[in-house]
């Protein structure tokens, strides 16, 4: 009996200290959250860190881009980044007014003005005010005049938006104690992750330049998102089953096993589409979104892996000075975590499944069909079409 009492007291003591620790952590998190920024520190010009991110993305793509996709490194892609008040344009001289939202071609914005008090890599850069918070270059690609330009929020403003968005979604008590900074760091806080995101958008610019009609069709297909049967059981469950086969094909230890599993993946995908009564437009929606976003996700991850493996690759000096930058040495670990995200994305509604599933299809094609990129930009050729040829 004494032994039982001792065990019981130990359990109660453990629960007590566990609860006290949780309360203490919640208080500390709430206090820490009081210092969350609600505005960028540097607004009217590019910060030194943002210049370093842009310059490193350009450096990375110019030196290694062709190893990820033929021609990507050779294609000049200016960069727009924006915060809550301004859009900044680098890599162009005397730019035409505003920008064109692609692929629709709507003209947005106004004249660019030279930032007179600052330079980027020894050259002028430009800015324009963003008076309407709903009209921004967004995170994608636009055209300035005839030039394709990659576009993305500044890293600092992206964090502000992340904190603000999460706060609006959470109930009041959780809102106060949620560890926002920790989650931001996991998602996009590391320097290499943000650089990868900028490379992702630069690949969209490349897609638009190389195969505009296909790019436009694949981007315009996003309008079907609201009508897609995300939660319909036959479609949702079938998607999970085929994704598991795709992951098994990726992890298989020999090529023959991978090929067999890919054949099962293709069969399961066909079966799901039939059983879910997907019209041809929604089948093409899946393929088009996997093509445009899956390939960009693939390029984002692959260029970091190439940088990690290239012992002679030299990042720019400015990015080396940023806290947390590790010269891509931990990038393969990040990619492994992104691969595990494929399964999670398949279990939730929304287009993230196309980003991750399309990316994984591209990775598998690299291994089993090395020349696949020669066909990937052809009209009406999508990733699952290429897998059928293996």
Lowest-confidence segment of 12-21, 68-77, 172-181, 276-285 by average pLDDT: 12-21
pLDDT above 60 for 106: yes
With a cut of 90, say whether residue 170 has pLDDT above it: no
Residue (of 314, 296, 362, 294) closest to 72 by Cα position: 296
Output phi, psi for 97, to 5 deg.
-60, 140
Q: Look at residue 210 and tell me whether its pLDDT is greater than 80.
A: yes
pLDDT at 150 over 70: yes
pLDDT at residue 192 tops 80: yes
- Quote the tokens at residue 276: 């879910």
Buried (b) or exposed (e) across 27-55, using 16+ Cβ within 10 A?
A: eebeeebeebeeebeeeebbbebbbbbbb
- Whether 272 contacts 235, CB under 8 Å: yes
36 has a pLDDT exceeding 80: no
| Residue 298 pLDDT > 60 | yes
Stretch 234-248: mean pLDDT, rounded? 98
pLDDT confidence of residue 115: 98
Q: How far apart are CA 289 and CA 286, in angstroms?
A: 5
Q: What pLDDT does residue 161 have?
A: 85
Whether 23 shows a pLDDT value over 70: the answer reads no
Cα-based distances in Å from 139 to 101, 136, 155, 173, 246: 11, 9, 12, 32, 29
What mean pLDDT is predicted for residues 80-105?
A: 98
pLDDT value at residue 9: 55
What region, left, alpha or beta, does residue 265 occupy, with left being phi > 0 and alpha being psi -120 to 50 degrees?
A: alpha
Question: Region 162-186: what's the mean pLDDT?
Answer: 62
Structural domain boundaries in the chain = 213-387
Range 77-87 average pLDDT = 98
Structure tokens at 316: 């720019």
CB contact at 8 A, 207 and 280: no
- Region 141-155: mean pLDDT is 98
Residue 271: is its pLDDT beyond 80? Answer: yes
pLDDT at 333: 96
- Given a contact cutoff of 8 angstroms between Cβ atoms, the answer to whether 193 and 334 are in contact is yes
The three-state secondary structure class of 291 is helix
At residue 213 the predicted structure's pLDDT band, cuts being 50, 70 and 90, is: very high
What is the pLDDT, as a whole number, of residue 20?
39
The predicted structure's pLDDT at residue 38 = 79
When pLDDT is averaged across residues 115-120 and rounded to a whole number, the result is 96
pLDDT of 27 over the 60 cut: no
pLDDT category, 103, cuts 50, 70, 90? very high
pLDDT at position 26 = 42
Per-residue confidence (pLDDT) for residue 159, from 0 to 100? 87
In the chain, what percentage of residues exceed pLDDT 90?
Answer: 82
The end-to-end CA distance of the chain, in Å, is 68
The pLDDT value given to residue 312: 94
| pLDDT tens by residue, 338-387 | 999 999 999 999 999 999 999 999 999 999 999 999 999 999 999 999 99
Q: Cα(67)–Cα(162) distance, rounded to whole angstroms?
A: 33
Q: What is the pLDDT of residue 324?
A: 94
Check residue 180 and give its pLDDT: 62
Q: Is the pLDDT of residue 68 over 50?
A: yes
Assess whether pLDDT exceeds 70 at residue 33.
no
What is the per-residue pLDDT for 16?
Answer: 45
Q: How confident is the model at residue 165 (pLDDT cuts 50, 70, 90)?
A: low
Work out the mean pLDDT of the chain and round it to a whole number. Answer: 90
Binning pLDDT at 50, 70 and 90, where does residue 179 land? low
Give the C-alpha separation, 34 to 284, whole Å.
47
Peptide linkage before 103 cis (omega within 30 of 0): yes
Confidence of residue 172 (pLDDT cuts 50, 70, 90): low
């Amino acid at each position: 009996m004494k032994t039982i009492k001792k065990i019981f007291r130990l359990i109660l003591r453990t629960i007590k200290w566990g609860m006290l620790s949780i309360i203490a952590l919640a208080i500390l998190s709430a206090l820490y959250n009081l210092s969350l920024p609600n505005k960028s520190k540097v607004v009217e010009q590019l910060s030194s860190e943002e210049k370093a991110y842009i310059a490193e993305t350009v450096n990375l793509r110019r030196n290694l881009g062709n190893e990820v996709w033929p021609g990507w490194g050779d294609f000049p892609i200016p960069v727009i980044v924006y915060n809550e008040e301004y859009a900044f344009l680098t890599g162009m001289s005397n730019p035409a007014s505003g920008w064109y939202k692609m692929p629709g071609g709507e003209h947005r914005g106004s004249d660019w003005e030279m930032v007179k008090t600052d330079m980027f890599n020894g050259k002028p850069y430009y800015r324009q005010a963003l008076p309407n918070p709903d009209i921004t270059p967004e995170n994608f690609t636009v055209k300035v005049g005839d030039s394709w330009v990659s576009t993305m929020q500044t890293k600092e403003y992206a964090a502000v938006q992340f904190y603000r968005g999460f706060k609006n979604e959470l109930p009041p008590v959780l809102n106060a104690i949620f560890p926002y900074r920790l989650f931001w760091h996991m998602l996009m806080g590391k320097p290499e992750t943000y650089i990868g995101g900028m490379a992702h958008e630069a690949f969209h610019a490349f897609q638009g330049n190389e195969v505009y009609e296909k790019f436009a069709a694949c981007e315009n297909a996003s309008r079907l998102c609201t009508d897609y049967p995300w939660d319909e059981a036959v479609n949702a469950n079938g998607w999970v089953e085929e994704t598991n086969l795709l992951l098994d094909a990726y992890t298989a230890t020999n090529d023959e096993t991978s090929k067999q599993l890919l054949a099962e993946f293709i069969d399961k995908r066909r079966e799901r589409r039939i059983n879910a009564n997907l019209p041809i437009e929604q089948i093409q929606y899946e393929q088009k979104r996997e093509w445009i976003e899956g390939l960009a996700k693939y390029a984002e991850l692959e260029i970091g892996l190439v940088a990690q493996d290239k012992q002679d690759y030299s990042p720019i000096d400015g990015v080396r000075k940023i806290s947390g930058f590790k010269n891509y040495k931990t990038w393969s670990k990040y990619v492994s975590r992104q691969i595990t995200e494929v399964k999670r994305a398949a279990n939730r509604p929304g287009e993230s499944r196309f980003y991750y599933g399309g990316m994984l299809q591209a990775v598998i094609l690299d291994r089993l069909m090395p020349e696949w990129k020669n066909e990937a930009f052809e009209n009406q050729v999508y990733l699952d079409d290429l897998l059928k040829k293996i």
